[in-house]
Structure 1
């Protein structure tokens, strides 16, 4: 029996955000590896998988328009490059709990910006659901201390997290999830490579240890390839405001995986926050689906507990 678009999209979004949250322990293995060089390797591995997938039906079609190329460059620069750079800077200046709490506001931000960019009024039910999810994520993550620089970097990371989805929305109808993932990933490689050369020079790369190699393979193949495809597939089925609700699963899955792996202890507050996140997601998914973007906003259709890096 075929799944409904809501159920299919919900499953994709849930798995994608769970994979992202569970990558917390994996990214910790790269703590001593050069950041720009490691990210360049990670996205190179992902592009080596995604680009052949995009070519499997022949040449890479349809050809990109100037607007699409601009959106893809903006997506790679914000949702991939700036997201990782700002995340590291935020964690150097403030507690991970503060960073996680700020990023936990992603569902609310997407609930407002998603419909506004599509020329619609934000739906009250979805805003209420997003507020419940944000509250639950904040309870799971907790609160910590830090300075103004760390908080500003965390806000920048929040904007980049939303841009990763919102910039992809007008691209998905014509290009599809595979091409958007492949192109944005490939465009991120020179951004990180150039930064690595400028920042670290000859020390930009080194032979990874066994644990670091496994971490790079996980981040490149499982997270960047698998989760990207699942997430963009969910965006096409649910829309940004409803898909954004699943961002609350990031701190939840990070806390649960930490407890299962023995790197953390599950507290009653985390369980209560998980229940709030689940309630908010259910509230948002049971409402009326927002209308799809109008022709003016799309092209013609064709045929983290430490937050993880994306």
Structure 2
């Protein structure tokens, strides 16, 4: 019996014993009616009823504390304890449900800004030097957080460290290199929408590499993602007469279309590299915390970008870093890499994986909005149509995971999105 109920019962025991002896003496025929005037007989009668000597009751609340206990509990006629009113904790429960979802939404908004930041880095800064400095700053912060939270580096085998190094090569080096190279040929709104096809690409790669069943939902998700990418490249005919509309797609448009297609294929390669990052995590011999994986991703990414980054930095690239460029780079490292991670995993620990996957749909919307707001990127009907198709693909992909048994939220949601890889 809980301590509070034992105290509450001991506070009511004398009255309850008297009532039991007066009204329900037939329930205990072996016990004679003692003299209730003596306090000793009351204690001996309770010992006779239980057949053993009772232990000393725990100290119980009195006065205001006792009335507080009585207000939190109620006793029915059959002595069954009624649980406290749930309405008393409803506001705190609402708040506890609100903050995790807000964290997930903010994380995806920040991840959406990564393509806008990447476009600025591609146009104004040396790419590999910027990525190396970014991972250096992120590694310093993430290692500090890892030692504070978990006391040190993960205790795992060399094989698992090798897998994490391969994850860093896919989710860190290849993803960021292909994404930034693709941003040279396409706009950030298009890049953000293509990057959001990650869940569909993960289903496709899982069926090819791991021989997982390719269900109808998986096929529908891949088709929606492909149609969304195709809609992004539908040409917009120029205004004019009917003959002009027929020949609107000139050779200059063809060259521009080829450049856009090159950027699209590079970004699709980045998404495929991210899918390999997710699949490599399934090869780990023992589970490693998301904080440790993300930290090692940053550390190994620093090592992998070091040769090209240091070469660019000391061959004249350092002079291109203005005050604005350093602020953008700090946001790239601490806001996107570290901040998105902390927000995502603080929220994903409190929601189901299938629900967390739905929040990845915020990322392409954030990319489109921020590209139009900060870089004056024109948002065309192709962006809206392609984004709609990709969002439907995300919904179908997360519907697949909702039918599976719910695991830990962070683990199941990794099949749909991983901010540390996206960043």
TM-score category (smaller protein)? 0.7 to 0.9
Which structure is richer in relative contact order (CA contacts within 8 A, separation 6 or more)? 1
Q: Which residue of 1 aligns with 2:380?
A: 267
Query: Partners in 2 of 1:232 and 1:275 — Cα distance?
Result: 26
Q: Which residue of 2 aligns with 1:290?
A: 404
Query: Partners in 2 of 1:242 and 1:24 — Cα distance?
Result: 24
Query: Partners in 1 of 2:276 and 2:99 — Cα distance?
Result: 23
Three-state SS of the structure 2 residue aligned to 1:179 is helix
RMSD value over aligned CA atoms? 4.2
Q: Which residue of 2 aligns with 1:60?
A: 152
Q: Which residue of 2 aligns with 1:183?
A: 296
Q: Which residue of 1 aligns with 2:130?
A: 38
When normalised by structure 1's length, the TM-score is 0.73
Q: Which residue of 2 aligns with 1:23?
A: 114
Matched, 1:145 2:236: no
Q: How does 1:1-310 map to 2 (within 5 A)?
A: 1=93, 14-30=105-121, 31-57=123-149, 59-60=151-152, 62-92=154-184, 94-96=185-187, 103=195, 105-114=197-206, 120-136=212-228, 139=231, 145-146=257-258, 153-169=266-282, 174-199=287-312, 201-206=314-319, 208-230=321-343, 249-261=362-374, 263-286=376-399, 288-291=402-405, 310=423
When normalised by structure 2's length, the TM-score is 0.56
Query: Partners in 2 of 1:207 and 1:146 — Cα distance?
Result: 30
Q: CA deviation at 1:216?
A: 0.8
Q: CA deviation at 1:46?
A: 0.9
List gaps (5 residues or longer) in structure 1.
Answer: 299-308
Contact 2:182 / 2:262 at 8 angstroms: preserved in 1? yes
Q: CA deviation at 1:76?
A: 1.3
Q: Which residue of 2 aligns with 1:302?
A: none
Query: Partners in 2 of 1:242 and 1:114 — Cα distance?
Result: 21
Task: Tell me the alpha carbon deviations over residues 193-240 of structure 1, each in whole angstroms, 9 at most, x when there is no partner.
Answer: 22223456433534731211111111111111122345567888766x
Q: CA deviation at 1:26?
A: 2.7
Query: Partners in 2 of 1:253 and 1:42 — Cα distance?
Result: 22
List gaps (5 residues or longer) in structure 2.
Answer: 1-92, 236-255, 412-421
Contact 2:193 / 2:390 at 8 angstroms: preserved in 1? no
Q: CA deviation at 1:251?
A: 3.5
Distance verdict in 2 for CA 1:79–1:172, change over 3 Å: farther
Larger deviation: 182-191 or 78-87? 78-87
Q: CA deviation at 1:44?
A: 1.3
Three-state SS of the structure 2 residue aligned to 1:23 is helix
Query: Partners in 1 of 2:165 and 2:279 — Cα distance?
Result: 13
Larger deviation: 116-125 or 141-150? 141-150
Contact 1:12 / 1:233 at 8 angstroms: preserved in 2? yes
Task: Tell me the alpha carbon deviations over residues 69-113 of structure 1, each in whole angstroms, 9 at most, x when there is no partner.
Answer: 111111111211122222343444x44488667645433220133
